């Protein structure tokens, strides 16, 4: 089976993590974000993957290579300019088989693609959309199905008294190549707004699923995805690494403080005596946590140094940061790569500090 993954966006909602790194290869727990999708595809028999790239395409290619380490064939096409979801797919047309998967590269999921493909074949569909339920249907564009699973309608953010469905598109489609005849070449075309409506009553089906699904599009969702992975709420290869105690500490780490699972501690990490790490914490390679510091519900990326007595909760720190003693970083705050924060600062309320910024001692106290 073949798949096309759309990864052309700039990841603006996830900045500053994506200010210097393409979103598909932003680290999530212990590997590039897109690796979770590639591993999921491989489990369902996909061996040929085409990445449709735009922003910082060379950075994606340099990290992923030809896919051989993941047991797949990986090829790339690059948009000369944004072409929309259908336009990007059209660009890959010369490489496509008669049937293939199309996926949104921002998604973390364990939907049963094998079952979705089987349904697609059984119904004779031209396109089958994976669908997942949401708790608040009024906040989304919904997909309404008939009893036979065919799509009857799309409804954009209905009022609470007119809800007919709680299903939204999960960004995973099984497609027949013939639908590309509906897409004009070399122009910006949305498959959701311009192609799907043409296929209603003409081979468009839905595949409802109760599986895990999350769009990793914001820092809050990045953190949620991290926590769900290390808690085992989504089926990934990380689960085996964590083992029965839900704790992965590399043998090259030095931990003198306390670590509460679930947590991932990588090679070269140093946790000083009296420090408290976890639960729900990921420390990437060569992170240093000073004496008496607390790191909880947080992600700290490679080489970052955390001073004595710091408090990190519900936050993300990029690589190569330096945080001075007694500083508190909480409330969804995000530091980009190489940020230097002096002692006794308070950074919270979703503040985003962009790469390379330097803040002196006591510069911010929310």
pLDDT tens digits, one per residue of 134-192 = 888 777 788 999 999 999 988 876 666 667 788 999 999 999 999 999 998 878 889 99
Q: Which structure tokens are listed for 269?
A: 């990490």
> What distances in angstroms separate CA 275 from CA 96, 292, 331, one per listed residue?
53, 4, 20
The CA-CA-CA angle for residues 257, 258, 263, to 5°, reads 120
Cβ atoms of 257 and 272 within 8 Å: the answer is yes
The pLDDT value given to residue 55:
59
Residues of the chain with pLDDT under 70: 9-11, 55-57, 157-162, 366
283 Cβ contact partners less than 8 Å away, ≥ 6 residues apart: 263, 264, 265, 266, 269, 271, 277, 289, 295, 300
- pTM here is 0.91
Residues with a known catalytic role: 157
Cβ atoms of 123 and 149 within 8 Å: the answer is yes
Q: Which structure tokens are listed for 23?
A: 């979103």
> What distances in angstroms separate CA 90 from CA 11, 133, 144, 364, one per listed residue?
22, 29, 27, 49
The pLDDT value given to residue 345:
97
Alpha-carbon distance 40 to 332, whole Å? 28
The pLDDT value given to residue 176:
96
The pLDDT value given to residue 185:
84
The pLDDT value given to residue 135:
85
């Amino acid at each position: 089976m073949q798949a096309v993954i759309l990864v052309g966006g700039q990841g603006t909602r996830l900045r500053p993590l994506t200010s210097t790194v393409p979103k598909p290869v932003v680290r999530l727990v212990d590997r590039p974000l897109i690796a979770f999708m590639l591993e999921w595809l491989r489990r369902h028999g996909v061996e040929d993957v085409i990445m449709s790239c735009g922003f910082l395409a060379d950075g994606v290619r340099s990290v992923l290579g030809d896919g051989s380490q993941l047991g797949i064939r990986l090829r790339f096409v690059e948009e000369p300019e944004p072409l929309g979801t259908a336009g990007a797919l059209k660009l890959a047309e010369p490489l496509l088989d008669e049937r293939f998967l199309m996926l949104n590269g921002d998604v973390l999921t364990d939907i049963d693609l094998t079952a979705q493909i089987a349904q697609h074949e059984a119904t004779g569909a031209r396109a089958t959309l994976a669908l997942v339920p949401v708790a608040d249907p009024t906040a989304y564009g919904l997909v309404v199905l008939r009893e036979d699973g065919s799509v009857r309608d799309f409804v954009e953010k209905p009022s609470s008294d007119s809800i007919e469905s709680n299903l939204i598109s999960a960004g995973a489609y099984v497609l027949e190549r013939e639908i590309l005849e509906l897409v004009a070449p070399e122009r910006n075309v949305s498959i959701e707004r311009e192609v799907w409506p043409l296929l209603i009553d003409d081979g468009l089906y839905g595949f409802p699923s109760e599986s895990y699904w999350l769009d990793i599009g914001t820092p809050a969702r990045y953190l949620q995805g991290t926590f769900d992975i290390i808690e085992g709420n989504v089926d990934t290869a990380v689960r085996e690494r964590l083992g029965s105690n839900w704790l992965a500490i590399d043998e090259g780490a030095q931990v003198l403080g306390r670590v509460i699972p679930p947590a991932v501690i990588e090679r070269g990490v140093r946790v000083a005596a009296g420090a408290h790490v976890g639960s729900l914490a990921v420390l990437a390679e060569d992170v240093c946590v000073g004496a008496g510091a607390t790191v909880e519900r947080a992600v700290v990326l490679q080489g970052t140094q955390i001073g004595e007595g710091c408090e990190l909760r519900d936050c993300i720190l990029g690589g190569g940061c330096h945080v001075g003693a007694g500083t508190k970083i909480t409330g969804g705050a995000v530091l980009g790569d190489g940020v230097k924060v002096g002692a006794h600062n308070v950074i919270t309320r979703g503040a985003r500090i962009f790469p390379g910024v330097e803040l002196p001692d006591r510069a911010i106290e929310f």
